[in-house]
Amino acid sequence: MTRQSAAHFSGYDKLVMEILRFATKGATKQTLMDNFSLSRPQLRRLTADLVNKHLLRYHQSLRLFMTTARGHIYLKKKSDEIPSVLLKPMDIAREIIMLDSGKTLLDARNSMLRFNISRIVVSLNGKAIGIISEKDIAKFLYNTPPTKRLSEITLKELIHKKLITVNENSTIDYCSKLMLQNNISSLIVIDNEGKDKGIITKTDIVELYAYHQSTHLTVRECMSKKVQSVAPDETIHMIAMLMATYKISRIVVQKHRKPIGIVTTRDFLPLSLIHGTGSLGRYWTTRSEMIMTRAHQKFIPTGMLGIVLAQDIMSPAPINVYMNSDIANAAKIMIRNRISGLPVINGKGDLVGIITKTDILKNKILVKS
C-alpha cells in the first residue's frame, strides 16, 4: 500500500469514527453535511458503504432513520413518521451529468464511461431538455442505417420524448407514480423557480425501498408471471420483435425450463460496432483487442454466418431469485449487482416469472394505497 493510499484510508476511517461519535446525540443528514462539509451524494455513498459493511442498519420499527449494528448510536429524523413520507426527492437525488444537445454520441459514450452512469441529461443553453439512456442509444443504433459514426450523431437527434420533471417538495411516492404513468426511469428535480436541482432514478427509489421499508411481500406476490423467453438458438431479430411488441427491456433465455441467460436492450449496443461502439456483453468497452475482433466480423458475408443468436449476445448464468424470497431481498440484489430485473425460479430451478424494478415500484405503491 502506498503512503498516499494509506493516508486516504486513514482519513476515511477517521471521518467514519467522527460521524458515528457525533451522531450519538442524534443528528439529521443536513447537520452531518454541514458539520463535515459533505455534499448530499458524498453522504449517500458514505452511509451506503457503512450499511454494506454492517456498521449501520436501517431500523424503521424503532422509528429511527438508522442505527449502528453494535449499539445505540443513531441518526434520528425530526419526526416519527415513516421515511417514505418524510423524504423528499432531493434527499435521494444525484448530481446531474449534463451535455449540450450539440454534443455527439461519442461524447455521451465517454461521459457514461467516466462517471459510470447509464443516462445523460441533454441541455440547451444550460437548461435540461431531455434524457438519453443506454436503452435509447441501443434502439437508435440498432434501427438506424449505419451511415454515420458516433462522432457524427448529435444528441438532439435522439431526443423525442417530452422531459418530465418533479418539484423538489414532492413526495417519493409521487415520483414513483410519475415514472410508472409515463413509462420512464428518471426524473429531473426542479425548484419552485424551475431551476434544475438534481436527477432521481428508478434505481434510487428501489434502493430507498430496499433499505428503509419493510412490507413482508414475497417475490411471488409481485413478479410478472408471464415471462417472454426464447431458446438459445433464437435469432436476435425475434428478440427485438418481442421487446417492441410487449414494450419490455429484457428477454430470458431458457433451456429445459431453466434460465441460462438474459438479453437486455443494452446487449444490442455491441451490434452497432459499425458506429464505433463496444463489444459483446459489456458496457461501452474500451478494450481495443475485443473491439478489433468484433470490427473484423462485420465483413463476414450475409447468410448463415451472418445470423446472430440469443446465445451470442446474452449474459450467461443470470442471477436468479426464489419465488418465496422477500421482495426487499430482490431489490437489494438488483442494487448491488446494478441490474434491473431477475428471473424468478421455484425450488426445482424452473423459470416461473420475472421481477423488475418496475414491479417493485408498482407493489410498494399498492401496499400504501
List pLDDT tens digits, range 319-343. Answer: 999 999 988 889 989 888 888 899 9
The answer to whether residue 88 scores a pLDDT higher than 60 is yes
Give the tens place of pLDDT for each residue, 240-275: 888 888 888 899 999 999 999 999 877 766 544 333
Could you give the CA distance from residue 101 to residue 129 in angstroms, rounded to a whole number? 8
Please give the pLDDT value at position 103.
94
Residues found in the chain = 369
CATH superfamily label, 219-368: CBS-domain (3.10.580.10)
37-41, 152-156, 320-324, 338-342, range with greatest mean pLDDT: 320-324
The x, y and z cell numbers of residue 336, run together, are 448491488
The answer to whether residue 76 scores a pLDDT higher than 60 is no
The answer to whether residue 301 scores a pLDDT higher than 70 is no
Alpha helices in the chain, H assignment, sequence order: 3-22, 29-36, 40-52, 83-86, 89-92, 105-115, 134-143, 172-182, 202-212, 219-222, 236-246, 288-297, 310-313, 327-337, 357-368
Measure the CA dihedral 303/304/305/310, to 10°.
Answer: 120
The answer to whether residue 277 scores a pLDDT higher than 70 is no
Tell me the average pLDDT across 61-66.
48
Could you give the CA distance from residue 271 to residue 249 in angstroms, rounded to a whole number? 16
105-109, 147-151, 188-192, 308-312, range with greatest mean pLDDT: 188-192
Residue 88 carries which side chain, given as an amino acid letter?
Answer: K
Please give the pLDDT value at position 187.
94
Per DSSP bridges, beta strands 196-201 and 186-190 are antiparallel
The answer to whether residue 118 scores a pLDDT higher than 60 is yes
Locate CATH 1.10.10 in the chain: 3-80
Which residues pair with residue 188 across a beta bridge?
165, 199
Percentage, residues of the chain above pLDDT 70:
71
- The correct answer on CATH 1.20.272.10 for the domain covering 98-212 is no
The x, y and z cell numbers of residue 149, run together, are 459514426
Work out the pLDDT band at 101, boundaries 50, 70, 90: very high
Tell me the average pLDDT across 78-91.
56
Work out the pLDDT band at 146, boundaries 50, 70, 90: low
- The correct answer on CATH 3.40.50 for the domain covering 3-80 is no
Please give the pLDDT value at position 223.
92
Residue-averaged pLDDT of the chain: 76
Locate CATH 3.10.580.10 in the chain: 98-212, 219-368
Tell me the average pLDDT across 89-97.
85
The answer to whether residue 3 scores a pLDDT higher than 50 is no
